[in-house]
Amino acid sequence: MARGRFISLEGGEGVGKSTQLRALAAALRARGHDVIETREPGGSAGAEAIRSLLLDGDAGRWTPAAEALLFAAARADHVAKTILPALEAGQWVLSDRFLDSSLAYQGGADGIGEAVIRQLHQVGSNGFLPDRTLLLALPEAEAAGRAAARDRGAADRFGARDAAYHARVAAAFAQLAAGDPARFRIVDSSGSAEDVTARLLAAIDDL
Ligand SMILES: Nc1ncnc2c1ncn2[C@@H]1O[C@H](COP(=O)(O)OP(=O)(O)O)[C@@H](O)[C@H]1O
Ligand SMILES: Cc1cn([C@H]2C[C@H](O)[C@@H](COP(=O)(O)OP(=O)(O)O)O2)c(=O)[nH]c1=O
């Protein structure tokens, strides 16, 4: 059986990743593909347990370094237990966030550095990368507005970050995309959800 494809959706909070992951999965299923939807942190039993450690509790619960290690450990479990077996079974895997979130948030915005995050990913997941990474781009004010309407004040450990932090994340994502144009596509996430889904489908057409 042909190996499936691994596609990650990336971008800041509120750009529409979860919404588009569902829509993209439905569109691919309609074309006859066997698709699984997953997310990070999480996506396997072990990684979901680590997700609770990462998202619950005080903002200062972990140092940036400990946090980077926890994300890498969760990803190692997710890759080994969920993603690779699915790809080998011929399924397409869509993930809401993957390595590039660690590169942008921990590596870029938190100052750990891209090289260290890539080393952790080498150790944890053998450097495994998506076939395509779709970076959803939306002006920060619009993304913040969408996220606030969705969350209505219910924030996780990461909810209190300021605009400067989100700007560092966005800049890091843009730089990652520029550095690997074969893997990345930057997709305009403004307008209706249906329009965005059409753009995303066009951005994986070659797969
Ligand atoms: N194209 C769109 N236009 C307007 N609102 C949207 C659109 N796509 C998603 N939303 C809404 O914006 C909020 C954030 O979307 P979500 O998919 O949860 O983003 P993310 O997973 O990137 O944080 C949700 O309430 C969602 O229903
Ligand atoms: C996967 C991953 C997520 N994160 C952060 C981004 C989010 O603030 C948080 C959880 O993300 P998530 O629940 O996907 O939030 P949203 O739907 O709002 O995008 O974890 C990292 O900092 N590093 C990572 O490697």
The pair of structure tokens assigned to 12 is 């800041």
**Which domain, by its residues, includes 69?**
6-203
The pair of structure tokens assigned to 78 is 């997710």
Q: Is residue 52 part of a domain?
A: yes
Q: Is residue 45 part of a domain?
A: yes
Q: Is residue 104 part of a domain?
A: yes
Query: What local confidence, expressed as pLDDT, does residue 154 receive?
Result: 76
CA of 189 to the centre of ligand 1 (A): 9
* pTM of structure: 0.97
Q: Is residue 19 part of a domain?
A: yes
Check pocket membership of 184 for ligand 2, CB cut-off 6 A. Answer: no
How many separate domains does the chain show?
A: 1
Q: Is residue 1 part of a domain?
A: no
Q: What SS3 class is residue 85? A: helix
Mean pLDDT, each 10-residue run in order, the chain (207 residues) = 94 96 98 98 98 93 96 98 98 98 97 98 98 96 88 79 93 98 98 98 97
Determine if residue 32 is labeled as part of a ligand binding site: no
Query: What local confidence, expressed as pLDDT, does residue 171 receive?
Result: 97
Query: What local confidence, expressed as pLDDT, does residue 173 receive?
Result: 98
Atom of ligand 2 nearest to the CA of 102: 25
CA of 89 to the centre of ligand 1 (A): 31
Determine if residue 189 is labeled as part of a ligand binding site: no
| Cα–Cα distance for residue pair 18/193, rounded to 1 Å | 11
57 Cβ contact partners less than 8 Å away, ≥ 6 residues apart: 157
| Cα–Cα distance for residue pair 193/10, rounded to 1 Å | 16
Q: Is residue 146 part of a domain?
A: yes
The CATH number that applies at residue 184 is 3.40.50.300
